[in-house]
Amino acid sequence: MNPLRSGLPLRSVLYVPGDKPRAIEKARTLRPDAIILDLEDAVAPEHKAQAREHVRDALRTPWHVPVLIRVNGLNTPWEHDDRELALTAGAAGIVLPKVETPHTVQTLGPTLPIWAMIETPQGVLNAPSIAALPAVTALLVGANDLARALRTQPHPDRTPLLHALSSVVLAARAHGKTPLDAVYNDIRNPDGFQRECQQGRTLGFTGKTVIHPDQIEGANTAFGVTATEAQAAQELIAAWEQARREGKSVATHRGALVEQMHVDEAQEVLALWGVAEG
């Protein structure tokens, strides 16, 4: 299953540690829009080989959502084994950590779709050229590593990271790629998680990476379409179509001017609504 096929929502993307077979099996019962089986940060060095086997076993049977593999970075002892697994086990794509330059991706050669993690200052500065690569289909923010590299202080509104977050969104959107927001670490704070989801949507992210099953529904809601939003989109399109039948180039709806770009946006809202509801 192609994780970026037309119309597929990516509101929530769940990380699952590759060395936890029970967590992998539980993930089959959950409803994120995609899953990342993690061989990198979530797995201790002494468990890497075992995690690869768990991931291989997990991909022997079909999943209800796209499943990608986060491999260990280039120039690590696990690079080649992870890459071989991703290419042969039936993963939908590769999540590549700490991508700093286009060369990092190009060294992989023709492979599966690449989700490039932007989690260093150099990665942020080079995000446009990374997003321009045909193999890259999404940019993921790694805020924990980025904050550490920037020497920022924790802030509930992520103020020190706003420039970097917007830079990733800008780079992804400029090249038609999917921007995915960073994980929220405090799984005991659902209110803080919801605030950060809403901030991510406001900044232009398509969805959010999550680390706990309890975060899935909140992300799906925050980055999804409500029934009220879908109805408003339908009404706007109806007003536009009526104006066009009357020979008008623009329409008004609820006191606001409606042009083709607003209709296009409303159609995108309805497309996401239809896929999510279906």
Residues 252 and 210 in one domain: no
46 found inside a domain: yes
**Position 2 in a domain:** no
Tell me the pLDDT tens digit for each residue of 59-83: 999 999 999 999 999 889 999 999 9
Q: 38, exposed or middle or buried, with CB in 10 Å at 0-12, 13-18, 19+?
A: buried
Taking every pair of Cα atoms in the chain, the longest distance, rounded to a whole number of angstroms, is 70
Do 51 and 183 lie in a common domain? Answer: yes
Residues 48 and 160 in one domain: yes
Task: Residue 70: give its domain's CATH number.
Answer: 3.20.20.60
pLDDT tens digit string along 187-220? 999 999 999 999 999 999 999 999 999 999 999 9
Report whether 275 contacts 11 (CB < 8 A).
no
Domain residues for the domain of 208 are: 12-222
- The answer to whether residue 174 sits within a structural domain is yes
User: Total structural domains in the chain?
Assistant: 2
The answer as to whether 7 is a domain residue is: no
Average pLDDT over residues 263-267: 90
Residue 38 CA, chain-centre distance (Å), reads: 15
Are 157 and 261 in the same domain? no
136 in any annotated domain: yes
Q: Which of 201, 222, 243 is the last residue of a domain?
A: 222
For 23-62, the pLDDT digits (tens) are 999 999 999 999 999 999 999 999 999 999 999 999 999 9
Is residue 78 within 8 Å of 39, Cβ to Cβ? yes
Residue 7, pLDDT score: 55
Q: Please, are residues 241 and 262 in contact by the beta-carbon 8 Å criterion?
A: no
Q: Does one domain contain both 20 and 93?
A: yes
pTM, 2 dp: 0.89
Shared-domain flag, residues 151 and 268:
no
Do 218 and 251 fall into the same domain? no
Residues 33 and 90 placed together within one structural domain of the fold: yes
The domain boundary, picked from 222, 247, 268, lies at 222
**Token duo for residue 272:** 């996401």
- The pLDDT of residue 250 is 82
Q: How far apart are CA 37 and CA 67, in angstroms?
A: 7
Mark whether 131 and 156 lie in a shared domain. Answer: yes
Answer whether residue 4 is part of any domain.
no
Distances (CA, A) of 1 to 25, 33, 63, 112: 19, 12, 9, 12
* pLDDT reported for residue 228: 86
Give the pLDDT band (50/70/90) at residue 2.
Answer: very low
Report the relative pairing of strands 251-253 and 256-258 from DSSP bridges. Answer: antiparallel
- Give the three-class secondary structure for 257: strand
